[in-house]
Amino acid sequence: MMQGDLVVRKSYGGDVLFRVAIIEEHTAVLKGTDYRLLADAPLNDLSVVKDGDGDLPVAIRQARLLAGESTQRMQEERQQQIIQRELLRAQNQSQPYFDVPGKVLHLDGDGNYMKKSMQLYTQMRVPAHGLYVHESQMADAVYRLLPQIKPDIVVITGHDGVLRNREQNDLNNLASYKNSQNFVDAVRVARDYEKSRDGLVVVAGACQSHYEALLQSGSNFASSPGRVLIHALDPVYVAIKASYTPISETINLPDVIHGTISGIDGVGGVETFGKYRVGLPKPRTLTGVKATV
């Protein structure tokens, strides 16, 4: 077994696919490939697998199927929005409209997840600025980047989880979580920058994060109400939904939550207006314009 190998844990029935990040004597540090999970396991509990769907356990194939369905739903919703916009133009016999989707600042505690997220933003034509930032540095990064990027939506995510060896069995205590306190601190900085939940949409959290604390600190959407593993792209799905929901409408909470891969145990939120605008007329290429002064 080597660093970079794809593995599953035999003791968990191969429910999550990991990549080996570090090998230390008889233990490996693992990063989930589909779920925002950081774990460790004895080497003798790991089985190396290939990245072909036929070789993967059923639970992993199912997770990838759900991820594909989620992306397809987003594409279908976007296509329907384009059709409605064109019908509006035809009815008014006006010039072509143009899109102004909400701009995203995505901070991620995992470089691979950040790259996957940016690929999906690009695929869905969402303007996004992504940065890999360790969870402990996210509050500082939010403070520095919000005035520079001036996003409509900020995503604060990475790795989290309920600590196995926590001092007390209290899931209401932030000390019981790997990174929830770091996410809470970053959300508070974002809310100091923009008080209004409609002025800046904040999506925060990762696997098993302290959902209630994140909402109380100012998040619009957060994980994880049921303290479950969330899919790597769930925060991205929520951000894209916010980016393309019109500013005159609130984001449909049941629709966006059930549209995630993890569902209502993985993501929740509060009523929030969208960030999508249309413009008129569409910018054109200006040639042959004569100077007048």
- pTM of the predicted structure, to 2 decimals: 0.86
- Tell the residue number behind the tokens 């990762």, with chain if given: 206
Question: Cα–Cα distance between 211 and 269 in angstroms, integer?
Answer: 9
> How many helices (DSSP H) and strands (DSSP E) are in the chain?
7, 13
**Helix, strand or coil, per DSSP, at residue 19:** strand
Q: Is CATH 1.10.1760.20 the classification given to domain 60-279?
A: no
Pairwise CA distance, residues 57 & 62, whole Å: 9
pLDDT digits (tens, 9 = 90+) for 236-292: 999 999 999 999 999 999 989 988 888 999 999 999 999 999 887 777 776 777 777
Q: What percent of the chain has pLDDT over 90?
A: 56
User: Quick check: 88 pLDDT over 70?
Assistant: no
Nearest to 215 by CA among 191, 233, 239: 191
Q: Note whether 19 and 31 are within 8 A (CB).
A: yes
Give the residue extent of every domain in the chain.
6-55, 60-279
**Biggest distance spanned by C-alpha atoms of the chain:** 78
